[in-house]
Amino acid sequence: MPQDPAHRRSARNGWLLSAPALVLLFFAASGPLLIVLTYSFLQKGAYGNVIWEFSLDGWIGILFTRDIFDGSLRLADAHLTIVWRSVKLSLLTTLIALVLGFPTAWFIATRPATQRAAWLFLITIPFWTNLLIRTFAIGEILRNEGLLNTLLLRLGVIGAPLQMLYTDGAVLVGMAYVYLPLMVLPLFAAIERFDMRLLEAAYDLYASRPKVLRHVIILPIVRPGLVAGSILVFVPSLGAYVTPRILGGGKNMMIGNFIELQFGQGRNWPLGAALSMTLLLIVGLALVIFVRAANRGSGGHHHG
């Protein structure tokens, strides 16, 4: 059925109105990505930059290192360790944020309507402070002469200061603290829409607490907020730079620090570009998994 002129004119006007945003999106997002993708297929220069000759050395360098004497390839254990550490810490950060964020969001959502704004205000206060300042504050708590070690020593729990700073645990604590509000807010938005009378109905039908949590709250109601919160925490955690740099030190590097190293002291721009694209692919894969999990859960709920 042909569209009427008014509908076509409305569609054309819509495209014209969105054209500036689309052009900006292309040049501000897609343009730099295309440059990085191009750099990943070029040869590295002696002092940084690139030589405009096609090469797969950047991509090969993610998994392998080339021997400086005979040119043979061997597995780059250090690179794989950094990638695995990044994925592992990001998943653990997401899990900790979920475990702490769900009861927090539930508590806020079940307060009287007049009090919720105040509680949400408290959750957002950390965003008022620069990320660097917050990370240094965590470092001051975890260092050998810091607040936590001093408290444990005075209580007699430990006999000597624990080495907590510059470990994976310190990075995990820092990232969980930084990104926790990003889990609480989507969960709160999802829980707030929940009709509490469904809980009473479920208990009247003799449903156990685990069944109520799973079939009445988690799957149908909270799952969208859980998925959104997981994405908001996992994605920035995976590419985190400041927190691992300060709390992990030079030896507990994550992929964001490793990319910066290649563009800086490493002077290997093609490898840095290839690592950047690999990070983008990991993020894309994670988004697909999260979204499919959300769709599968909602589909299964409607089917039931």
Residue with tokens 């409305």: 10
In a domain, 23, yes or no: no
What's the pLDDT score for residue 196?
65
Tokens representing residue 265 in the block: 């002291």
In a domain, 3, yes or no: no
Q: Are residues 50 and 42 in contact, defined by beta-carbon separation less than 8 angstroms?
A: yes
32-50: per-residue pLDDT in tens?
A: 889 999 999 999 988 888 9
Please tell me what DSSP assigns to residue 254: -
The domain containing residue 236 runs over which residues?
Answer: 31-303
> Could you tell me which of 121, 223, 131, 115 has the C-alpha nearest to residue 175?
131
Counted residue by residue, the chain has a size of 304
Looking at the chain, the whole-number percentage of residues with pLDDT higher than 90 is 40
Q: How many helices (H) and strands (E) does the chain have?
A: 14, 4
129-163: per-residue pLDDT in tens?
A: 889 999 999 999 998 888 888 998 988 888 888 88
Q: Tell me, yes or no, if the pTM score tops 0.75.
A: yes
Separation CA 67–CA 88 (nearest Å): 29
In a domain, 253, yes or no: yes
Contacts by residues 293-297 (CB-CB < 8 Å, ≥ 24 positions apart): 293/227, 294/223, 294/224, 294/227, 297/219, 297/223
- Per the DSSP assignment, residues forming a β-bridge with 73 are 66
The C-alpha R_g of the chain, in whole angstroms, comes to 25
Output 70 or 281, whichever has higher pLDDT: 281
Query: What is the DSSP pairing of strand 73-75 with strand 64-66?
Result: antiparallel
User: How many domains does the structure of the chain reveal?
Assistant: 1
Q: How does residue 302 score in pLDDT terms, banded at 50, 70 and 90?
A: very low
In a domain, 258, yes or no: yes
304, pLDDT greater than 50: no
Overall average pLDDT of the 68-87 stretch:
86
Overall average pLDDT of the 2-6 stretch:
66
Output 237 or 8, whichever has higher pLDDT: 237
Residue with tokens 């076509």: 8
199-245: per-residue pLDDT in tens?
A: 667 666 666 666 666 666 666 677 888 888 999 999 999 999 999 99
Q: Is 291 left (phi over 0), alpha (psi -120 to 50) or beta?
A: alpha
Separation CA 268–CA 251 (nearest Å): 20
Please tell me what DSSP assigns to residue 28: I
Output 24 or 255, whichever has higher pLDDT: 255
Overall average pLDDT of the 172-195 stretch:
89
In a domain, 26, yes or no: no
23, pLDDT greater than 80: yes
- Side chain identity at 229, as an amino acid letter? G
Q: Is 21 left (phi over 0), alpha (psi -120 to 50) or beta?
A: alpha
Overall average pLDDT of the 13-22 stretch:
83
- Per the DSSP assignment, residues forming a β-bridge with 64 are 75
What's the pLDDT score for residue 200?
65
In a domain, 4, yes or no: no
Q: How does residue 298 score in pLDDT terms, banded at 50, 70 and 90?
A: low
In a domain, 157, yes or no: yes
What's the pLDDT score for residue 69?
77
Separation CA 187–CA 103 (nearest Å): 10
- Phi first, then psi, for residue 252 (nearest 5°) are -105, 65
SS3 (DSSP) at 251? coil
- Phi first, then psi, for residue 50 (nearest 5°) are -135, 155
What's the pLDDT score for residue 85?
92
Q: Which of 48-57, 105-114, 198-207 has the lowest mean pLDDT?
A: 198-207
**Residue 248: which CATH number?**
1.10.3720.10
In a domain, 71, yes or no: yes
What's the pLDDT score for residue 223?
80
